[in-house]
Homo-oligomer: A and B are copies of this chain.
Amino acid sequence: MNIETAASQLEALGNTTRLTIYRTLVRAGQNGLPVGKLQLKLDIAGSTLSHHLRKLVGVNLVSQERQATTLICRANYSSMDGLISYLADECCADSAGCAAESPEAAA
């Protein structure tokens, strides 16, 4: 996980519509949801949904699987795990021990 990847994943989640999409997929669990169901639930234009979905798939936060005519979308938990780890680690959130890693901060 490099900083550019992290930034692009964060950017993908940093939009209310997309975060809602992602959250909805997470709550749908392993079964996932077809694009059409998502559209009904969220009440947005199909083209808009497709646009956002592509972005989420592009940064690997969501994966898709074809089932006949419908396209099932699923939240990609391991990617989110990686992102959270990056945030907690590289940009460590625990107030203790952060400065320990950076020598120049030991002033």
Contacts and interface: CB of A to CB of B under 8 A. Distances in A.
Contacts of A81: 93-94
A90 B31 contact: no
Contacts of A9: 14
Nearest to A18: B7
Contacts of A43: none
A contact patch SS: helix
A72 interface: no
B4 A16 contact: yes
A56 interface: no
Contacts of A92: 26
Interface residues of A, number: 44
A34 B3 CA distance: 23
A10 B13 contact: yes
Contact of A3 (B19, B31, B88): B19
A100 to B, nearest CB: 8
B3 A23 contact: yes
Contacts of A7: 13-16, 19
